[in-house]
Amino acid sequence: MKIAIYPGSFLPIHLGHLDIIDKALKVFDKVLIAQLINPDKQIDVKYDKQFYQSMLDLRDKYNRRTTYTNFSGLLVDLINKRKSIIAVIRGLRNGNDLQYEQNMQYWNEDLGLTVPIVYFVTDRRYAHYSSSSIRAINKFKMEKL
């Protein structure tokens, strides 16, 4: 069983993330979606509800091949605790993401990450999607994007 972890903030989860999960499930048997809980960030409950509903929708759509957890602290600590995880999934929208992800990969490796990070390029339809822009839009217009 090939299990990958897809970590992120997912505040909120959007179509760009779903596209990455879709792609990852073509390569891996299961994807564990791991939401970082940042105690310093004020989370809007509407995003919690939306995230929870997305997790249920995904579980049904992919016949329970997606599972969910949340974590605080270091990603490597979570991965090292779960021996079945063979890879980390991350999405890339553009060169800026690549630079950011490369730094994060180096840090994770320095911190003891031993599984590979597998990157999927986001579909062009969602290349401009980010949780921060969706939060900004949602201030005026609540929409599931």
CB-based contacts of 51, cutoff 8 Å, min separation 6: 10, 12, 13, 35
Which phi and psi (to 5°) does residue 124 adopt?
A: -60, -30
> What gap in Å lies between CA 131 and CA 95, rounded to an integer?
18
**Should residue 8 be labelled a site residue for ligand PNS when binding is judged by CB under 6 A?**
yes
List the x/- string, 81-120, binding to ligand PNS by CB under 6 A.
-----------------------x--xx------------
Q: What do you get for the CA distance between the two ends of the chain, in Å?
A: 32
Comparison of 40 and 63: residue with beta carbon closer to ligand PNS: 40
Binding ligand PNS (rule: CB under 6 A), the pick from 3, 15, 36, 115 is: 36
Q: Which residues bind ligand PNS (CB under 6 A)?
A: 7-9, 36, 74-75, 104, 107-108
